[in-house]
Chains A and B, each alone.
Chain A
Amino acid sequence: MSGAPKTSAAVRPTRARAARPVTAVPSRATRAVILAVVGVLFAIPLLALVEFTLRGGLQGGYTLDHWIAVFSGGLDRSYKPLWDGLGNSLVLAIVTVLLMLVLLVPTMILVRLRFPRLHRPLEFLCLLPVTIPAIVLVVGLAPVYSVIARMFGSGTWTLAFAYGILALPYAYRAIQSNLVAVDVATLSEAARSLGAGWPTVLATVILPNLRRGLLAAAFISIAVVLGEFTIASLLSRTNLQTAIVLVSKQDPYTAYIVILLSLVFAFLLLFAIGRIGGRTRRSVS
């Protein structure tokens, strides 16, 4: 890096640049200012949410009553939709993740190992839902769901089929990035030449190697399912988000508290994904 002194002399010499000789990276101060300004702007609505849950209603002033009510089980029957919605969303998340594990994962492994030529079509198919707005999907799903309702009944869990499609692109990406990082072909050939059958190869060799991708895919699917509103609301099912909208009309405080909690939960999920993904990257390199 002999060019370093020259550039820092040509441009303004600062201490930050001494550490990183020639670089397009913003200085510490620039970064701090930008992030602080944007961070504050983005924090305001969230703070407003918090502030609202602390408001004392018509009497004014601030109180913790609403939070206490939520956590002390002071929610009576009128909050039933909320519990229904939460329950439904959790069931949906589980069914969606199961669908993904049962359908998507074997397909991807199979395509990777045996039918590499199908890679492109599969990728196209899996990423397609990104381009189709959920609201458009609903229009198409409405008639499909009248059939599904006849076959499986109109239980909320059937929405998992639709959510499977919604989560498909994210799950696909998470698994795919893991799949290319692991040399599945060599691993499975090694296992096969040692006499392992396909089920053993799958269960003891491939899946353990894919666990980070699978975990990330499961988390992102859960996040997608818990945050879904469009399809549930237009097909008249109750899930967490539609319940929040419903409850917000009778008791905004509780609804807002649930919103805050759900946001925090989603943040933790994604934070965990980031951590998992980060570790995968490190172990590969």
Chain B
Amino acid sequence: MLALGTGFFDADGAPTLDNLLALGDPVVLTTFGNSIALSALTAVLGALLGAVVSYALLGARPEGALRSVVDAASGVLAQFGGVPLAFAFIATMGLNGLVTVFLKTTLGLDPYADGIWFYEMPGLILPYLYFQVPLMVIVFLPALEALRPQWVEANATLGGTRLAYWRHIGLPVLAPSFIGSLLLLFANAFSAYATAAAIISQGSQIVPLQIRAALTSETVLGRANLAGALALGMIVVMVVVMSAYSLLERRASRWQR
């Protein structure tokens, strides 16, 4: 396994600057822009929605049926996701999807009147949210549950209201975990490949798809290392995000002992 680990670093080895220059290519830059925008958008929406769901689950018995089901379902959607999710959304929002047909026949609305955006970038937003929200529940719920009952009691004894509790205690304590989870969601969306690959079969609007194109392309000969350069670019983004995450995690763990 170690050999594989080092092999991965060798892949970008002998870094001639040519490959790195490819990262400055306007097309590549646009793709990175797309990827980052998509990841950021779904991370923020996913984090907010996920936080609301986690809040709703707060106080449910950890051994209870509700929690067991939600935990397992979140795990499936967040980790098993990928291809099945893509197909679920094709069945939902594809041209003959359940929701598309419903909108058309029942409400007389055509969501694709201005072109079929589902198989392009915007179409990825909903499927991505579908695995972002469960991930948020998985990573954020423990933080939420680590809020001590004593703090609520202290707040109550001092005459604080519910609002005061959340404003002065809950939210400040949770802020680092929330932002940390947000970063994790960003990283998750940024590195997701399967869903996008199954929905978008042509074109390379986001970085992972561009790596696919670079790896499998039969026409762009002589740029075999472009995939390596793109991968390097992705790693740079990931390293930045994940080091910020570990910093925040350390800050957050202060309250989770």
CA A211 – CA B130 in complex, angstroms? 33
The proximity string for A residues 28-53 relative to B, scoring 1 for CB distances below 8 Å and 0 otherwise, is 00110011001000101111110110
Across the interface, which residues of B come within 8 angstroms of A20, CB to CB? 59
Query: A275 and B68: CB pair below 8 A?
Result: yes
B197 at the A/B interface (Cβ < 8 Å)?
yes
Q: Which of A125, A131, A170, A274 contacts B68 (CB 8 A)?
A: A274
Q: In whole Å, how far is B94's beta carbon from the nearest beta carbon of chain A?
A: 9
CA A209 – CA B158 in complex, angstroms? 46
Please count how many residues in chain A sit with their CB below 8 Å of the partner chain's CB atoms. 77
B242 at the A/B interface (Cβ < 8 Å)?
yes
Q: In whole Å, how far is A118's beta carbon from the nearest beta carbon of chain B?
A: 14
SS of B interface (majority)? helix
- Which residues between 4 and 18 of chain B lie within 8 Å of chain A, taking CB atoms? 4-5, 7-12
A191 at the A/B interface (Cβ < 8 Å)?
no
Across the interface, which residues of B come within 8 angstroms of A270, CB to CB? 71-72, 75-76
Across the interface, which residues of B come within 8 angstroms of A7, CB to CB? 156
Query: A133 and B238: CB pair below 8 A?
Result: yes
CA A6 – CA B58 in complex, angstroms? 23
Across the interface, which residues of B come within 8 angstroms of A165, CB to CB? 1, 4-5
SS of A interface (majority)? helix
- Which residues between 233 and 247 of chain B lie within 8 Å of chain A, taking CB atoms? 234-235, 238-239, 242
- Which residues between 53 and 103 of chain B lie within 8 Å of chain A, taking CB atoms? 53, 55-60, 62-63, 68-69, 71-73, 75-77, 79-85, 87-89, 91-92, 97-99
Please give the residue numbers on chain B whose beta carbons come within 8 Å of chain A beta carbons, in ascending order.
1, 3-5, 7-12, 49, 52-53, 55-60, 62-63, 68-69, 71-73, 75-77, 79-85, 87-89, 91-92, 97-99, 130, 133, 147, 149, 152-153, 155-157, 159, 161-162, 165-166, 170, 187, 190-194, 197-198, 208, 211-212, 215-216, 227-228, 230-231, 234-235, 238-239, 242
